[in-house]
Structure 1
Amino acid sequence: MSYDGRVYRVEVGSEVREFPLFRVAPDVNIAIFNMLGDTAIVEESARLLTELMPADADVLIVPEVKAVPLGHALSVHSGLPYAVVRKVLKPYMANSLSVEVVSITTGKPQTLHLDGKDRRLVDGKNVVLVDDVVSTGSTFEGLRKLMNAANAAIVGEMAVFSEGNGDSWPHVITLGHLPIFPDQV
């Protein structure tokens, strides 16, 4: 990835940010949204997404890492519990459920893990999948596969932003859209 100094200005409720544009392929630049450590944007995003939350939701499901603060804040705002889907199986994760997916970031297979305690939490429940950005949909695809295996009913998918072709994710509840930018002319 390379950075040429360009930024993309976004508003999330009362919060305004300028995201750096990074070149990820020839003539393809994306605005990098990193909410880690930005409490104000996490809280504002959670407040706004809570207002759009499906009424029949029982549990929030978030992938590690960047969506974890959002999942926590959504849990606080909504009163719903949340579970974190891990990319690495930890020794303390007893009776975990695992599925393999292809990572869009690396293009390689990766395994998603749901801890046994969280399997019990989602079994037979209505879940909402939550991420920071939906781009290719591969993370949500993996989460769907994992939740289906865990006997959970998916009642919604939410992200702070969609990215790329804005028409690709009409079923995902988002607060905004991040376009793809061509190389600077």
Structure 2
Amino acid sequence: MFYEMTIAGCKRQLPLCPVNDELYIAAFIMFNDVEVTRAAAKELLAKAPEFDVVVTAEAKGIPLAYEMARQAGNKDYVVCRKGFKLYMRNVIETSVDSITTDHLQKLCIDQDDVETLKGRRVLIVDDVVSTGESLNSIEALLKQIDLTIVGRMCVLAEGEAAARGDITYLNELPVFNPDGTVKE
């Protein structure tokens, strides 16, 4: 089963995947889709407030964050990593419980990231916002740093996330019943 939609002018068929016996979601993967990544970045930037740094969570938001930073004039971007790496110094972290992962994850950044972010205007971006848990975790992490969050953006707002007033997005993405029909 697939859900067909147009994202930033690009028509795509998104495979439907079960979350549980009652709920299916449409999988939107930006990896390997340069056309959608470029087009979505351009459309989001047209709606973006003034910012200095783009921040995203590892991993699916990375192509979008990179492309938005590049198109905005080679601005900085920071990736909140899902785990500690040996090269990281003075790590700060928080936890995230994402709908697309079957376990509690950590998000962390290190001293170099903190220096990049300190005192700057930050734009948080992601491919899809669903429950908002990834956004909440990024914000909890960033609250430990002296910076200003100027916006939250995503390509797709899934399910109830479309009703949130605190995110800017390009398209609404419904959630689905096991038979592929849109959940009401």
Alignment TM-score, normalising by the size of structure 1 = 0.90
Find out whether 1:155 has 2:144 as its counterpart.
no
Identity %: 33
Corresponding residue to 2:58 among 60, 64, 73: 64
Higher mean C-alpha displacement, 141-150 vs 20-29: 20-29
What displacement does 1:22 show?
1.5
Cα distance per residue 1:124-169 (max 9 Å; x no partner): 2111111110000000000000111122211100010010125442
Instruction: Tell me the distance in 1 between the aligned counterparts of 2:169 and 2:162.
Output: 12
SS in 2 for 1:127: strand
Which consecutive segments of 4 or more residues in structure 1 shift more than 3 A? 101-109
Deviation per residue, 1:38-81 (Å, 9 max, x gap) = 111111111111111112x1111011111111111001111221
Within the candidate set 136, 140, 145, 1:145 is matched to 140
Greater strand fraction, Structure 1 or Structure 2: 1
Q: CA separation of 1:11/1:106 partners in 2, compared to 1, >3 Å: closer, same or farther? A: closer
Count residues with an aligned counterpart. 179
User: Is the 2:44–2:153 contact (alpha carbons within 8 Å) kept by the matching residues of 1?
Assistant: yes
Q: Could you report, residue by residue, the CA deviation over 1:96-120 in whole angstroms, capped at 9, with x for unpaired residues?
A: 2222333444464322111211100
Which blocks of at least 5 consecutive residues in structure 1 are unaligned? 1-5
Deviations 1:163-182 (A, max 9, x none): 01254422211000110111
Q: CA deviation at 1:183?
A: 2.4
1:165 maps onto 2:145 in alignment: no
Match for 1:69: what amino acid?
A: P
**Cα 1:32–1:103 shift into 2, 3 Å:** closer
Rounded to whole Å, the distance in 2 between the matches of 1:108 and 1:23 is 16
* Structure 2 residues without counterparts, runs of 5 or longer: none
2:41 is the counterpart of 1:43: no
Q: Name 2:107's counterpart in structure 1.
A: 112
| RMSD, aligned α-carbons | 1.6
